[in-house]
Chain A
């Protein structure tokens, strides 16, 4: 096995991984940084974020507003010390990106422009037209190219974290071009592998978002936190699940049902006029809007199409000029994939799995409970997102906490305090990881296909862990996942080649998703309350007495996870009612 000795190994080269790499490189130009990713950095899914990134910069806004919007938006499950740090750092990170060349959209006077997003008291979303994630990712990637100490390992699929004497000392990764395993021996490891939307059948996520990093940390003993909170974005294109940004509504777009009625007024989000208005109607939070769709569907007031039930996003009144300037990608996507030009036509949309609020348990420094192991971005849970992430906080989260992960990992690596471990033992662990993959090649042929398993996993997650859940559907999904994991343990490799074997990669990804899926449904089953994106038909009320707590799912190997709890950090905003619409 090839051994690469480095100071910091970063797994994932999207927004969080790149920001971490740059932070570490700037902290100490002597440090060697290995940036490992299963795809080239610019393919990472940060690229698909559209609407923008929130940071207080305008006179009419305040940090207090951003704090309140975030905490209330998260239905009080956010850790308030983390939110405080986050909102203070947010504008600095966005200015830093501006200095690195991010082409933010501007006001006529040359200052950065902001737009409103759902659940916001004041418009504070910085945007680069409707390609904000794309520009952030490319700006970070291009900026990273000037640091010679960042060594990239593109198209290396990471398989296992190496933990020795209770400390993370490296990671194994397979070079996809050759199929050869590599041991990255490091003083600190940062996981920045993004989300897990592909365990669901209908998602905005790219095919690479398969819970890899979450599952690696989970298997290594780190709990996955708040996994039951899965964000459905209210406006995905039917069929493909392609995202249409909240910016559509931020710019003034409205949602109507089959009767042309702005149905959100029936769900404590009205009155509909005057429009547009912050924190009301279409600018309510994502969880409430997706739930409203579900109710409309129950009432038979959605529109049936060949892609399933939809409502309509109406942007016609914005006019061609504004749509071309502010939402050019949205226009292109809607025209291409559903044949509807938003300038002249209604666009069919429906809720779609978009974001995991939960993830690898970290503290405010992006550190996990295992010394030497950090996590940041969507794969992590700090938590600033609570039970429902405020739109446009995630791009900032990966900057703030990616930066902190890089900074703290660099401190670890520089301090000289990293204890020595027996190198032989580390090699042995890496050898075990290699053997786990090699053994897949030796399995006897069977009937099970990886595409088939993935499809069944998708279906059961949709049935059990959708917008509304209950005891029996969750229990069924728990049972099904046990069966799927058993069958997965017997799956054989149809392709036994070494060079760029995507069948092998898909197989490993399905294994990761099945592990993380169990964490989701077991956390959801035991949370007998409704909060934010986790809605239980059998327990419709929020229960602060019992559940002002984070869920922590611990892997039990082949058995089902153990769920524990951790108190939410409340510093200055006691739990209250989430108020949107006319009262907000």
Chain B
């Protein structure tokens, strides 16, 4: 027996036939332990096979299934129906991204920005495999570990008021990732990232609304990362201008 019947109000947009997005209502018999994704899958399997959306892991780690659920960007596989206040749930594609079809958004902009912050270890000299691992103590790891946890679900971009206003803004997830590498004791690439990170579309575009951190399903705290970067970037700027900083390569 179904635990209760719910109504899903799902935004539909099929560019080949729809001029504008519209809402379609589905009635779904829902089990007590269902997440929103389970209900959406029910629609796909039983009510309308043409509904398109991304999903895979169903355990909040692949980052595919971010959507607006009652107006909030959330992972549909980690949002339990029983925790939502109403029997009617409104589901839309992630805000601030162009809609490709139904709940699928175009992620090109995010993918390009991710690449632009150089999210990889940069070193003056590569360490040889024969030299073994770098030593990194637990406190050194703890400095950046939180910022490694981003699953690229893009909920933060959907929540960010600055990204909504300034599409060029590098944005929360990509900046937090740059910070993650800057803080890694194995990395020497902070200055290589600075051109992008501290540019006019980088950290200084962030108005610290903190919306990104509030919606982040993995508690990465990108807003915190960006504020830390502002401090560290300022400090380096002064050190450089006093002639005390590291020389630019």
Contact = CB atoms under 8 A, between A and B. Distances in A.
Interface in B148-173: 148-149, 151-152
Contact of B59 (A110, A208, A333, A506): A333
B19 interface: no
A103 B145 contact: yes
Given A101-B181, A206-B56, A206-B58, A108 B50 contact: no
Nearest to B100: A500
Given A451-B44, A503-B49, A101 B138 contact: no
A96 B129 contact: yes
Interface string B43-79: 0111001111111111111111000000000000010
B5 interface: no
A145 B17 contact: no
B181 A497 contact: no
A121 to B, nearest CB: 23
Interface string B70-114: 000000001010000000000000000000111010010001001
B121 interface: yes
B120 A146 contact: yes
A431 interface: no
A42 B62 contact: yes
Interface string A94-107: 01101111011111
A111 B133 contact: yes
A99 B127 contact: yes
A100 B136 CA distance: 13
A108 B138 contact: yes
Nearest to B101: A500
A146 B144 CA distance: 21
B240 interface: no
A506 B50 CA distance: 11
Contacts of B121: 99-101, 143
Contacts, number: 153
B58 A242 contact: yes
B15 interface: yes
Contact of B152 (A42, A45, A239): A42
A206 B137 contact: no
B49 to A, nearest CB: 5
Interface of B: 14-17, 33, 44-46, 49-64, 78, 80, 100-102, 104, 107, 111, 114-115, 118-121, 126-127, 129, 132-138, 140-141, 144-145, 148-149, 151-152, 177, 181, 184, 186-187
| A-B pairs with lowest CB-CB distance, top 9 | A110-B135, A206-B56, A451-B45, A495-B50, A500-B101, A101-B121, A206-B57, A142-B119, A98-B133
Interface of A: 39-40, 42-45, 47-48, 57, 92, 95-96, 98-101, 103-112, 131, 134-135, 138, 142-143, 145-146, 154, 177, 206-208, 239-240, 242-243, 329, 333, 336-338, 449-451, 494-495, 497-503, 506
8 contacts: A40-B64, A99-B133, A109-B135, A109-B137, A154-B111, A207-B56, A450-B49, A497-B16
